[in-house]
Amino acid sequence: NAGVTQTPKFRILKIGQSMTLQCTQDMNHNYMYWYRQDPGMGLKLIYYSVGAGITDKGEVPNGYNVSRSTTEDFPLRLELAAPSQTSVYFCASSYTGSGILTEAFFGQGTRLTVV
Amino acid sequence: TQLLEQSPQFLSIQEGENLTVYCNSSSVFSSLQWYRQEPGEGPVLLVTVVTGGEVKKLKRLTFQFGDARKDSSLHITAAQPGDTGLYLCAGEGSGGGADGLTFGKGTHLIIQP
């Protein structure tokens, strides 16, 4: 069982370049999330999705875009990379429903450096 | 915005010692989770506490949820080098998973052999 898979694991971008971080899950989870983690900090929510076709902003959405065309996939797009976006990005998924405890399953992360 | 404050931020102790880390908030959470993150990996869930005053044990780890569901603690007995890692608490608000989990900054724990 693969769980949550993120690609790539590492990437270096130049300022102004764009890229897409891929995330896929095979657990049929309805919720998916993108977090970023900066050194010494916790996880900050960028965007989340409660199901295919539905996305919403989290705490730090500026400079990012997402889409959710299928239950399995939740790509994160950086259009104009900036040094402030240097971080480790984690995708997560969970099954959330009435009376069900939410457990988030995380991918291994993408370490992005913008130079 | 719901905030979770974790303390201490860093802790380095000798193998065999006991320790407690704390997770505090001014907000009420419907549940609170503890995750452990190892270098180069994503966080992995250790436990979820739901009821105020609840205590859960996972081998040498004891988790407690405050009576008012605003705070939690993690106590490790006889710490071992394998306990080394970043411990994150995360709160789920009353809206369920709709807003995602709110994470604390974490406690970096190092157990020296």
Q: Does residue B2 register a pLDDT over 80?
A: no
Predicted local confidence at residue A99, as pLDDT: 62
User: What does the pLDDT read at residue B100?
Assistant: 67
Q: Does A68 touch chain B (CB under 8 A)?
A: no
CB contact under 8 A, A4 and B42: yes
**pLDDT for the residue numbered A1:** 65
Which residues from chain A sit within 8 angstroms of residue B103, using beta carbons? 35, 42-44
A109 with B106: Cβ contact below 8 A: no
Residue from B32, B45, B54 whose CB has the most chain A CBs within 10 Å, to mutate: B45
Per-residue pLDDT tens digits for B35-59: 999 988 899 999 999 889 999 999 9
A46-62 pLDDT, tens digit per residue, is: 999 989 999 999 989 99
CB within 8 Å: B88 and A43:
yes
Inter-CA distances, A81 with A15, A18, A22, A44, B38, Å = 5, 6, 16, 18, 28
Q: What is the pLDDT of residue B29?
A: 86
pLDDT in tens, chain A (115 residues): 679 999 999 999 999 999 999 999 999 999 999 999 998 778 899 999 989 999 999 989 999 999 999 999 999 999 999 999 999 999 999 887 666 667 889 999 999 999 9
Strands A10-13 and A110-114: parallel
Number of C-beta neighbours around residue A49 at 10 A: 20
* Mutation site for B-interface testing, chosen from A7, A44, A54, A101 by largest number of B Cβ within 10 Å: A101
Do the chains contact at A90 and B42, CB–CB below 8 Å?
yes
- Tell me whether residues A101 and B31 touch, CB distance under 8 A: yes
Q: Rounded to 5, what percent of chain B is helix, strand, coil?
A: 5, 50, 40
Instruction: State which residue of chain B sits closest to A56, comparing Cα positions.
Output: B99
- CA B2 to chain A, closest CA, distance in angstroms equals 11
Instruction: Determine contact, residues B76/B60, Cβ cutoff 8 Å.
Output: yes
Residue-wise pLDDT tens digits, B57-105: 999 999 999 999 999 999 999 999 999 999 999 988 765 555 667 889 9
Specify whether the CB–CB gap between A92 and A104 falls below 8 A.
yes
Give the per-residue pLDDT at A47.
94
Question: Taking 80 as the threshold, does the pLDDT of residue B7 lie above it?
Answer: yes
A88 within 8 A of A26, measured Cβ to Cβ: no
> So what's the pLDDT on residue B94?
60
> A7 touching B, CB under 8 A?
no
Give the integer Cα–Cα distance in Å for B106 and B8.
9
Q: Positive or negative, the Cα torsion across A57, A1, B37, B16?
A: positive
Query: Would you say A68 and B2 are in contact if contact means Cβ atoms under 8 Å apart?
Result: no
